[in-house]
């Protein structure tokens, strides 16, 4: 029996996702920090004790809350709740055998990384690639891969955090809004909120924009209806742990500094008015600046400024992207003590916003005539910085390091302290330094393969279809 012929576009997408899967899981996150461990421990406790109290493991992380004599994670719940049933199925079926605390922690962390980081990262690549193929940009694969790997999204692409998970939910909700699928958009927005609480700012803004743009109270309420189940879920989550649906676990931070920040009379849930130095550092600074850790955004915004006169104010105010993004960025910049995000590579709190910026920005670049020299310089710089981080310390950069890339990461790289948690070293004993350079070689080969495969297969078919349409 003959196998069905795969269309050139689908064949290209299969190759594209396969190569990017290999590139993104090449380095596995096994050096968990407080954030990841705080998401893992409730799952371990659930299997050992039947509850989510992490008293036994409280010394393993500082991201914990102390409530009524017990310790709990202080994180938004969705990431942990998605991993728990998957881990339970794997344990029940015998695929994973529970051993000791470290082995269990490692298994949960890797499963969590796949669910909350690897899959969202690949979905972003897939959604963008499908859109770029429809635009028929011959340069599309190079543009997309360099844009996403040349920044902090790649660094967190195999880490058990909630940022990429929240990012893909937010982007999916945004795309559904553009298609006027308001109920589903509300559901995805609710999922994003349950992943990261600051994304709750999108809820009222999007509901208001729908009302203004569609002039329909019913459509706005459809969106709200989709969000409501997750608001109720968070109310129940708060009530279960704190005794009140309106009292969050952050108010019981075990770390006194964070507790004081959250409960301060000068802040609202830990947020205050933006400070100029915070704005500068989070956008332009080399310490935690968005443009420094996602340099492709510099080119995107430069191209946007060239066409700014063609955009009407009315189009901006009725746009599902502009105002919510600015509001979210403002909210994050308003964070009081911990605006920088602790031990991290870049402004990790802005990762969900990066999903929107990169998605629209890369599509915008594909439709414009931009400088290839600037593109390679900016994306190349971002790639080298992200690669050096991934091959050494990943995202574990101490807060007190004032020069995270040029100081801390560069010193680790030059001293030969390379990341052992890569598939070549773990499976085949390859030297970690050689593994780092082999990843870079694999990346370059992947881009060349995708570029030439696109030109030979998909582009020829697209041109044939174009000619056929002309004849019709």
* Mean of pLDDT values over 190-205: 92
Supply the DSSP string of 146-207, one letter for each residue.
HHHHSSHHHHTTTSS-SHHHHHHHHHHHHHHHHTT-HHHHHHHHHHHHHH-GGGGGHHHHHH
Structure tokens at 244: 């009140």
In this structure, of 128-137, 300-309, 454-463, the range with the lowest mean pLDDT score is 454-463
In tens, the pLDDT along 106-156 reads 899 999 999 999 999 999 999 998 888 877 655 777 888 899 999 999 999
**Has residue 267 got a pLDDT over 50?**
yes
Report the share of the chain in percent with pLDDT over 70: 85
Summarised one tens digit per residue, pLDDT across range 333-379 is: 656 557 778 889 999 999 999 999 999 889 888 888 888 999 999 99
Dist. CA 186–CA 204, nearest whole Å:
11
Indicate the SS3 state at residue 139: coil
Which residue's entry shows tokens 């796949």?
114
Instruction: Report whether pLDDT(323) > 80.
Output: no
Contact yes or no for 299/370 (Cβ under 8 A): yes
Contacts of 276 (CB under 8 A, 6+ apart): none
pTM of the model: 0.91
Average pLDDT over the chain, rounded to an integer: 86
296-315 residues labelled b (16+ CB within 10 A) or e (exposed): bbbbbeebeeeeeeeeeeee
Please give the average per-residue pLDDT across 237-259, as a whole number.
Answer: 84
For the ranges 25-39, 111-125, 304-318, 453-467, the maximum mean pLDDT occurs at 111-125
Q: Is the dihedral of CA 143, 414, 397, 36 positive or negative?
A: positive
Least confident of 233-247, 263-277, 303-317, 454-468: 454-468
For residues 450 and 328, give the distance between their C-alpha atoms in angstroms, rounded to a whole number. Answer: 35
CA distance 387 to 253: 34
Single out the residue of 296, 414, 279 nearest to residue 347, CA to CA: 279
Residue 270 has pLDDT above 70, yes or no: no
d(CA 250, CA 271): 12
Structure tokens belonging to residue 88: 């339970």
pLDDT of residue 1: 43
Length of the chain: 472
- Which residues, at least 6 apart from 407, have a Cβ–Cβ distance to it below 8 Å? 401
**Phi and psi at residue 65, in whole multiples of 5°?**
-115, 145
Whole-number pLDDT of residue 154: 96
Across the range 78-97, mean pLDDT stands at 93
**CA-closest candidate to residue 46, choices 90, 87, 99, 97:** 87
Q: How confident is the model at residue 4 (pLDDT cuts 50, 70, 90)?
A: low
275, pLDDT greater than 70:
yes
Among 122-126, 245-249, 431-435, name the one with the lowest average pLDDT. 245-249
By three-state DSSP, how is residue 337 classified?
coil
Which pLDDT belongs to residue 192? Answer: 96
Q: Is the model's pLDDT at 230 over the cut of 80?
A: yes
CA distance 260 to 361: 39
pLDDT at 334: 59
Helix axes 163-178, 182-195, angle to 10 degrees: 170
**Predicted local distance difference test score (pLDDT) of residue 231:** 96
Q: Is the pLDDT of residue 182 over 80?
A: yes
Residues sharing a CB contact under 8 Å with residue 89, sequence separation 6 or more, in sequence order: none
Instruction: Please tell me the predicted confidence (pLDDT) of residue 83.
Output: 96
Q: Tell me what the mean pLDDT of segment 225-233 comes to.
A: 97
| Domain boundaries defined on the chain | 29-417, 421-460
Q: What is the pLDDT of residue 3?
A: 47
Q: How far is C-alpha 459 from the chain's CA centre?
A: 31
Spatial separation of the C-alpha atoms in residues 250 and 240, rounded to whole Å: 14
For 374-430, the pLDDT digits (tens) are 999 999 999 999 999 999 999 999 989 999 999 999 999 999 999 999 999 999 999
């Amino acid at each position: 029996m003959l196998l069905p012929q795969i269309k050139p576009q689908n064949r290209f997408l299969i190759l594209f996702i396969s190569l990017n899967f290999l590139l993104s899981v090449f380095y596995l996150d096994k050096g968990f920090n407080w954030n990841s461990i705080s998401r893992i421990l409730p799952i371990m406790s659930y299997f050992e004790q039947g509850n989510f109290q992490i008293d036994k493991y409280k010394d393993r992380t500082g991201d914990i809350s102390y409530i009524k004599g017990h310790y709990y994670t202080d994180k938004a719940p969705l990431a942990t709740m998605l991993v728990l049933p998957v881990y339970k199925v794997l344990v029940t079926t015998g695929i994973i055998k529970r051993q000791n605390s470290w082995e269990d922690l490692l298994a949960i962390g890797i499963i969590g990384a796949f669910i909350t980081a690897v899959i969202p990262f690949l979905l972003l690549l897939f959604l963008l690639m499908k859109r770029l193929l429809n635009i028929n940009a011959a340069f599309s694969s190079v543009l997309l891969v360099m844009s996403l790997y040349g920044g902090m999204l790649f660094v967190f692409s195999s880490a058990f955090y909630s940022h990429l998970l929240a990012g893909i939910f937010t982007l999916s909700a945004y795309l559904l809004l553009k298609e006027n699928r308001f109920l589903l958009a509300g559901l995805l927005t609710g999922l994003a909120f349950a992943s990261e609480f600051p994304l709750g700012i999108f809820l009222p803004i999007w509901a208001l924009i729908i009302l203004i743009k569609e002039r329909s109270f019913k459509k706005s309420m459809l969106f709200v209806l989709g969000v409501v189940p997750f608001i109720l879920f968070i109310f129940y989550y708060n009530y279960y742990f704190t005794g009140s649906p309106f009292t969050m676990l952050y108010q019981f931070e075990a770390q006194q500094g964070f507790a004081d920040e959250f409960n301060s009379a000068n802040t609202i849930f830990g947020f205050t008015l933006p400070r100029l130095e915070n704005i500068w550092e989070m956008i332009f600074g080399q310490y935690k600046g968005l443009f420094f850790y996602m340099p492709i955004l510099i080119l995107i915004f430069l191209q946007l400024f060239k066409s700014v006169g063609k955009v009407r104010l009315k189009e901006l105010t009725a746009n599902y992207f502009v105002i919510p993004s600015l509001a979210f960025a403002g909210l994050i910049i308003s964070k009081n003590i911990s605006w920088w995000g602790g031990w991290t590579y870049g402004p990790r709190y802005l990762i969900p916003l990066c999903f929107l910026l990169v998605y629209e920005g890369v599509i915008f670049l594909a439709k414009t005539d931009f400088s290839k020299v600037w593109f390679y310089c900016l994306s190349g710089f971002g790639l080298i910085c992200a690669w050096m981080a991934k091959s050494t310390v990943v995202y574990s950069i101490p807060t007190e390091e004032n020069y995270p890339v040029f100081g801390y990461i560069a010193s680790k790289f030059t001293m030969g302290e390379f990341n052992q948690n890569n598939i070549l070293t773990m499976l085949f004993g390859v030297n970690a330094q050689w593994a780092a350079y082999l990843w870079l070689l694999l990346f370059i080969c992947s881009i060349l393969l995708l570029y030439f495969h696109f030109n030979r297969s998909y582009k020829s078919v697209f041109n044939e279809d174009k000619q056929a349409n002309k004849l019709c």
